[in-house]
Amino acid sequence: MEQRALFIIFGGTGDLAYRKLYPALFSLYEKGYLKEHFAVIGTARRPWTDDHYHEVVVNSIDDAGHDVSRTNTEMARKFASHFYYQSHNVDDANHYVALKDLANKLDDQYELNGNRIFYMAMAPQFFGTIAGHLKDQNLLTDNGGFNRLIIEKPFGRDFETAKELNDSISKAFNEEQIFRIDHYLGKDPIQSIASLRFSNPIINALWNKEHVDNIQVTLAESLGVEERAGYYETAGAMRDMVQNHVLQVVSLLTMNRPEIYDAKHLREKKVEALNNIQQYTEEEAKQNFVRGQYGADEIGSQLPYRDEEGTADDSEIETYVAGKLVTHNSGLAGVPIYIRTGKRLAKKSTQVNIIFKGLDKNIFSELTGKKEIPTNVLTIHIEPDQGYTIEMSSKSGNQGYDIQPHYLRFRMTSEEKAKVPDAYEKLIHDALKGDKTNFAHWDEVSRAWKLMDVVRKTWDNTVPEFPNYVSGSMGPKAADDLLERDGRKWEFNPLK
Ligand code: NAD
């Protein structure tokens, strides 16, 4: 169904707008969710004309892989004609007056019913300033239309700065109007975690401390820091990946079943799940978290992090984090959750492994001489593969009773994956509909910071021995030790 709205994109000339937002809006246009009744104002410092802006928008959707050069040329041009550019310095109050005039004009011209989505595709230090001006210069409509604010990560550097940021935008927008993007929540396989857990009686019945031995979450990247050193030197893996994406996944894995699957009920259960993760003391954080930074690879063809362009020679930024979390959520109370993320690892893969408890007795041991039988493992593949694998055990076509693992596999084909909407397309569509199910609530963001701040604090007080893992490995040895001391090992190991 067509949605009516005016988008005002702060940072309209930036990388995010070009690579993600314009192609996502075009996909919504292709599918008819945006038609005649929408307009976009892009604002940034550069003095672009509307015509130039239209070229940029068409190029961005072309670069994103949409077929613009042939059949879609007319459609892309028509789409781009809904875009208006206004040169703007976020600190200058006068510009907001001009922005308001243009917004009101477009509202009439396209019959937008006063619906406005403000998208902050800029560095977070500007969010408070922009929100203040939007309010003071009356850019928020009050004629029955909606005012929604979409903001990007990073949402603060720790709890204190996140709270300051939240307070600053809350002067103009209430929590219901704020859509905090964690693009992981827009990914189809992340959204499917709840459907897998709560649509399958066999999975649902086993998802508890009686049957689950441990849960492992891996977000492994094979690339290094690439061109992002400027940002990464101020963030590191903990802020870039763990506080947001990893903890969001953990909350979906450990939450109790919501009454119904909507924003309100899901949020309640996710907040409860995060509150039920044990808040470590500094000593516990030291025992249960490991950080790492990549060095060169074994043949010296990959640069160590500290030699990458834009990084400091003595950088203490972590490119790897592993940790053990414990939940007190009644169903899974005491089940350890091992998490890890890192750059320059052996293989790119985001996956979740649910390792089930073994049986207390192998009745075939007399026949085979083997005491142990393999445990069952459910793997949820998030990217690049999408789907799941269940590892089961049985005898396999041999004379005796040698119990072997077998794999029940479901993988989406590349044709199926190609049809899945991009995370930004889904999330912008959700924001248009006012559906907050897949956005991070302040209660989740703030709790996640509190859980991780204590880890960060222990690290800030000690000098790490970096680099401590080889590019192309699966991270520092200490991350393996973290599991070995519990008598466990990482399930995903492409080097095995
Ligand atoms: P960018 O540097 O490419 O773009 C920044 C934009 O802000 C530009 O349009 C620039 O002109 C504008 N700008 C800067 N100062 C301004 C001022 N004083 N007045 C008016 N305009 C000004 O950054 P980006 O990569 O597009 O990222 C934008 C935000 O999105 C950041 O918060 C970033 O952390 C976040 N983010 C980006 C990505 C990504 O893939 N690029 C992914 C996740 C989150």
pLDDT in tens, 429-454: 999 999 999 999 999 999 999 999 99
CATH of domain 5-152: 3.40.50.720
Taking the alpha carbons of 262, 267, 268, 273 in that order, is the dihedral positive or negative? positive
Q: Is 181 touching ligand 1 by the criterion CB < 6 Å?
A: no
Residue-wise pLDDT tens digits, 90-118: 999 999 999 999 999 999 999 999 999 99
The structural domains of the chain, with segments of one domain joined by +, span 5-152, 185-421+440-484
Q: Is the pLDDT of residue 471 over 70?
A: yes
Residues 6+ apart with CB under 8 A from 26: 61, 64, 66, 76, 79
What is the residue whose two structure tokens read 């029940």?
A: 408
Q: Is 90 touching ligand 1 by the criterion CB < 6 Å?
A: yes
Amino acid at 22: Y
Q: Residue 402: which pLDDT band, with cuts at 50, 70 and 90?
A: confident
Based on the number of CB atoms within 10 Å of its own CB, is 283 exposed (0-12), middle (13-18) or buried (19 or more)?
A: exposed
Judge whether 187 is annotated as a binding position.
yes
pLDDT of res. 173: 96
Task: Please tell me the residue having the least CA distance from ligand 1 atom 39.
Answer: 16
**Nearest to residue 249, comparing CAs of 128, 80, 382?**
382
Active-site choice (245, 381, 429, 441): 245
Q: Is the pLDDT of residue 13 over 70?
A: yes
Provide the H-helix boundaries in 177-295: 188-199, 201-206, 229-237, 247-254, 263-275, 282-288
Answer yes or no: are the C-beta atoms of 4 and 38 closer than 8 Å.
yes
- The residue ranges of DSSP E strands in 318-416, in sequence order, are 320-326, 336-342, 349-356, 377-383, 387-395, 403-411
Q: Is 2 touching ligand 1 by the criterion CB < 6 Å?
A: no
Ligand 1 center from residue 16 Cα (angstroms): 7
Answer yes or no: are the C-beta atoms of 380 and 193 closer than 8 Å.
yes
**Nearest to residue 150, comparing CAs of 130, 163, 136?**
130
Q: Which atom of ligand 1 is nearest to the CA of 183?
A: 43
> Could you tell me what percent of the chain has a pLDDT over 70?
99
User: How close are the terminal C-alpha atoms of the chain, in Å?
Assistant: 50
Q: Is 121 touching ligand 1 by the criterion CB < 6 Å?
A: yes
Tell me the average pLDDT of the chain.
95
Residues 6+ apart with CB under 8 A from 69: 62
Task: Please tell me the residue having the least CA distance from ligand 1 atom 42.
Answer: 16
Judge whether 183 is annotated as a binding position.
yes
Residue-wise pLDDT tens digits, 158-175: 999 999 999 999 999 999
Ligand 1 center from residue 475 Cα (angstroms): 31
Instruction: Specify the higher pLDDT residue, 67 or 334.
Output: 334
CA 99 remoteness from chain centre:
32
Q: Residue 347: which pLDDT band, with cuts at 50, 70 and 90?
A: very high
Amino acid at 319: T
**Nearest to residue 184, comparing CAs of 89, 253, 135, 125?**
253
Q: DSSP string spanning 433-480?
A: HT--TTS--HHHHHHHHHHHHHHHHHHHTS------B-TTBSS-HHHH
Question: In 10 A of CB 340, how many CB atoms?
Answer: 27
Look up residue 305 and give its DSSP letter: G
**Nearest to residue 130, comparing CAs of 117, 120, 138, 140?**
120
Q: Is the pLDDT of residue 71 over 60?
A: no
Q: How far apart are CA 143 and CA 113, in angstroms?
A: 8
Q: Which atom of ligand 1 is nearest to the CA of 120?
A: 29
Residue-wise pLDDT tens digits, 117-167: 999 999 999 999 999 999 999 999 988 899 999 998 889 999 999 999 999
Q: Which residue among 10, 13, 16, 240 has the greatest number of ligand 1 atoms within 8 angstroms of its CB, and so is best to mutate?
A: 16
pLDDT of res. 69: 62
pLDDT of res. 390: 97
Rounded to 5°, the CA angle 218-221-222 comes to 135
User: CA torsion 218→221→227→232, rounded to 10°?
Assistant: 30
Residues 6+ apart with CB under 8 A from 396: 402, 404, 406
Q: How far apart are CA 136 and CA 134, in angstroms?
A: 6
Q: Is 165 touching ligand 1 by the criterion CB < 6 Å?
A: no
Task: Please tell me the residue having the least CA distance from ligand 1 atom 33.
Answer: 123
Answer yes or no: are the C-beta atoms of 338 and 490 closer than 8 Å.
yes
pLDDT of res. 372: 82
What is the residue whose two structure tokens read 């506080």?
A: 243
pLDDT of res. 403: 86
Judge whether 269 is annotated as a binding position.
no
Q: Is 78 touching ligand 1 by the criterion CB < 6 Å?
A: no
Judge whether 105 is annotated as a binding position.
no
Ligand 1 center from residue 366 Cα (angstroms): 65
Ligand 1 center from residue 123 Cα (angstroms): 5
Q: What is the average per-residue pLDDT within 212-231?
A: 96
Look up residue 319 and give its DSSP letter: S
- Here the tokens at position 435 are 């559906």
Instruction: Specify the higher pLDDT residue, 355 or 369.
Output: 355
Q: Which atom of ligand 1 is nearest to the CA of 18?
A: 26
Ligand 1 center from residue 13 Cα (angstroms): 8
Q: How far apart are CA 25 and CA 439, in angstroms?
A: 18
Q: Is 93 touching ligand 1 by the criterion CB < 6 Å?
A: no
Rounded to 5°, the CA angle 110-2-180 comes to 90
Amino acid at 488: R
Question: In 10 A of CB 341, how many CB atoms?
Answer: 25
Fold observed for domain 185-421+440-484: Dihydrodipicolinate Reductase; domain 2 (3.30.360)
Ligand 1 center from residue 158 Cα (angstroms): 20
Q: Which atom of ligand 1 is nearest to the CA of 13?
A: 9
pLDDT of res. 68: 64
Q: Is the pLDDT of residue 67 over 80?
A: no
pTM above 0.75, yes or no: yes
Ligand 1 center from residue 57 Cα (angstroms): 16
- Sheet with 320-326, strands from edge to edge, namely 289-292, 320-326, 336-342, 212-220, 349-356, 377-383, 387-395, 403-411
Q: Is 472 touching ligand 1 by the criterion CB < 6 Å?
A: no
Q: Is 152 touching ligand 1 by the criterion CB < 6 Å?
A: yes
Ligand 1 center from residue 11 Cα (angstroms): 5
Task: Please tell me the residue having the least CA distance from ligand 1 atom 40.
Answer: 16
Q: Is 11 touching ligand 1 by the criterion CB < 6 Å?
A: yes
Look up residue 176 and give its DSSP letter: G
pLDDT of res. 354: 98
What is the residue whose two structure tokens read 């459907």?
A: 195
What is the residue whose two structure tokens read 């015509």?
A: 51
Amino acid at 67: D
Q: Residue 379: which pLDDT band, with cuts at 50, 70 and 90?
A: very high
Q: Is 151 touching ligand 1 by the criterion CB < 6 Å?
A: no
Active site residue 37: no
